[in-house]
Structure 1
Amino acid sequence: MTALAHDIETAPSSRVASGFGFAALSAMAFGLSGSLAKGLLDAGWTAGAAVTVRVLLAAAVLLIPAAVSLRGQWNRLRDNAGLIVAYGVIGVAGCQLAYFNAVDHMDVGVALLIEFTCPVVVVGWMWFRHEQRPGRLTVIGGSLAAGGLVLVLNLLSGADIDGIGIVWALGAMIGAAVYWVISADDDTGLPPLALAAGGLLCGGVILLIAGLVGVVPFAATRADVTFAHATVPWWVPIVGLGVVTAALAYVLGIAASRRLGSRLASFVGLAEVLTALVFAWLLLDQSPSPVQLGGGALILLGVIVVKLGERQVRQEDFSTGSQISTV
């Protein structure tokens, strides 16, 4: 019994450490997407065309590694077909379609703030589905992170708010929450590569259909793309969007969620906003203000407090001998 207790205490610590590393890299990869996409949009691409190419390219990159990761156990795809479709339709295509429709009706900052309140939805789901009531530290950390987001997105200066835009942004928030919850499911036997590839392929097909029927405007160009300090061929940001900000980002995000759990991973994912500011500074010459930097510090503080709260919950679960799923 002592050895078992020791394993329970030590094994999660290494997984948590690697989980934070994967989550940080995933946030960095996701954060790069905005700046790369901005260059394409300025060159004449529509958002729908850029995100569809991004998702389909990522699926193509991951197909062979995903097949290898299954090691011939194709039944895992059949057994988890519903999960893969939900991940692709809601967590990938639905989330991005809702977000782009939101920014068509309201300021980007407001849309981002609403979408990135998804950790609240995740906490509520864990409470409703698994009776994991959030502790005091989780609530405090979430409040700090939310305040930091308001500062980072510079919403105090005033923003355009539209009812239809809010509805779309709430849809993006739900899609993001579904992404974190499904990504954290480690009981399916489905490798992260397989889940990411299947979800991206499904989401990409949905986006392509949406473009063909006119739900999302499609337009693209082969003109060079100009950033703050360089002009590059159009395919350079496309490759970056597909390989780095989608294929790599989704795989790392799933790996992080399975180590940290959906609640903590969704809070760590808020770092995407910070990395987006850094890349906007480097590639678009958009320097963050002191208020935004202070907001970033609040987000990091909030994540630390949430982590302390999760550790407290885990210790209580171990002491009672319960094993609660993260999904």
Structure 2
Amino acid sequence: MPWKHWSAERLGLALAVLAALGFSFKAIFVKLAYAAPQPVAVDAVTLLALRMAFSLPFFAWMGWRAHRAAGGAELNRRTLLWVLALGLLGYYGASILDFLGLQYISASLERLILFTYPTLTILIGVLFLGKRLRWQEGAALLLSYAGIGLAFAHDLHLAADMRTVLLGAALVLGSALSYAFYQAGSEPAIARLGAMRFSALALLVSTFATLLHFAATQPLAALQQPLPVYGHALGMAVFSTVLPVLMTSAAIRHIGAGRTALVGSLGPVMTIFFSAWLLDEGLSWWQLGGAALVLSGVLLIGMTKGQQRRPCDPAAPQAASAPPASTACR
């Protein structure tokens, strides 16, 4: 059926599903890059640097468009420092911890742990911002972490070295926590700068921080990788970053932020099935049960927040808290 004949709602839903598909593939690309045949596996810093470098032209275009839309208004020093801090937390810090964690645990467990960031954001609000914990939010926390426990038990049962799984899970939980702090602190910046301008600036900060990290810790020769690694990094940049961000923004325009975020709940389930299909990771009832509990918790958060009007960030990582952050650079 030609695109022009689609209703706005059907088009928005299709774009949201495609965005969730793209975001769910990020962990698959990372694991495939780590497994690419070569004498020494690519390290997390180099792989992240390649991904961000391939994405940089899009981020620069996005920032230029947002700057023009804002009439070229300059940032004051306080706002600039706030954007720098949030950019380092939300995309650089969260991404590097996530890539490191994927060296030790399965893609399916990584996705479920990462998907708890909406509940972590709520905890941060309660502990540091004076917000109250509603019963729905408390129930969502219990559901989400019970689900993580099931999936975690599955990986521990199969692991030859329990310490490896514990280390990987701790790194990915640190990634989710880093992004949750970004999420909790981004609302005033989004209200002041607008979602697109703030997201573009945060993405550019994270890109340059990643490239500086690479320059400080890796030799330039580390960029000499086999073609499969370049292909997986480019795939992450195009299909798990740039295109999903654009599709998420378009979906929000057609069906709203809340419904777009709820469709994004498909992401962890997609990752579990892609992991079993492409990476030969085990698929068990423990994982499926854990995914169901985590999704139930996030959906409960979404329904609770769906009653509140909040600014939406069309470039956040892949998970669903409604009205959202949507998804990109985790």
| TM-score (ref. length: structure 1) | 0.68
- Contact persistence 2:28–2:275 (CA under 8 A): yes
Whether 1:207 aligns to 2:210 is yes
- Contact persistence 1:115–1:176 (CA under 8 A): no
- The answer to which of 207-216 and 246-255 deviates more is 246-255
* Match of residue 97 from structure 1: 96
Give the whole-Å Cα distance in 1 for the aligned partners of 2:221 and 2:269.
Answer: 29
Cα 1:175–1:215 shift into 2, 3 Å: farther
Which residue among 37, 57, 62 is the counterpart of 1:60? 57
- Contact persistence 2:117–2:180 (CA under 8 A): yes
* Match of residue 189 from structure 1: 193
- Contact persistence 2:140–2:296 (CA under 8 A): yes
Task: Kindly report which structure 2 residues correspond to 1:107-122, keeping only aligned pairs within 5 A, or say none.
Answer: 107=105, 115-122=114-121
* Match of residue 87 from structure 2: 88
Give the whole-Å Cα distance in 1 for the aligned partners of 2:222 and 2:184.
Answer: 33
Cα 1:272–1:51 shift into 2, 3 Å: farther
* Match of residue 72 from structure 2: 74
Give the whole-Å Cα distance in 2 for the aligned partners of 1:177 and 1:75.
Answer: 28
The percentage of counterpart residues that share the same residue type is 20
Cα 1:91–1:135 shift into 2, 3 Å: same
Q: Report the number of matched residues.
A: 287
Shift of residue 249, structure 1, vs aligned partner? 4.4
- Contact persistence 2:124–2:181 (CA under 8 A): no
Shift of residue 202, structure 1, vs aligned partner? 1.5
For structure 1, list consecutive stretches of 5 or more residues without a partner in the other structure: 1-16, 226-233, 316-324
* Match of residue 44 from structure 2: 47
Task: Kindly report which structure 2 residues correspond to 1:215-234, keeping only aligned pairs within 5 A, or say none.
Answer: 219-225=222-228, 234=229
Query: Alignment partner of 2:193: what SS?
Result: coil
Query: Alignment partner of 1:213: what SS?
Result: helix
Cα 1:278–1:93 shift into 2, 3 Å: same
Give the whole-Å Cα distance in 2 for the aligned partners of 1:59 and 1:177.
Answer: 24
Shift of residue 32, structure 1, vs aligned partner? 0.8
Give the whole-Å Cα distance in 2 for the aligned partners of 1:54 and 1:181.
Answer: 26
For structure 2, list consecutive stretches of 5 or more residues without a partner in the other structure: 1-9, 310-322, 326-330
Shift of residue 308, structure 1, vs aligned partner? 3.7
Whether 1:175 aligns to 2:173 is no
- Contact persistence 2:27–2:111 (CA under 8 A): no
Of the two, which has the highest radius of gyration?
Answer: 1
- The answer to which of 143-152 and 161-170 deviates more is 161-170
Cα 1:29–1:144 shift into 2, 3 Å: same
* Match of residue 318 from structure 1: none
User: Which one-letter code corresponds to 2:222 in the other structure?
Assistant: A
Give the whole-Å Cα distance in 1 for the aligned partners of 2:203 and 2:15.
Answer: 19
* Match of residue 6 from structure 2: none
Give the whole-Å Cα distance in 2 for the aligned partners of 1:314 and 1:19.
Answer: 21
Show CA shifts across 1:193-232 (max 9, x none). Answer: x33332222212212222222279983445343xxxxxxx
Which residue among 233, 238, 247 is the counterpart of 1:238? 233
CA RMSD of aligned residues (A): 4.2
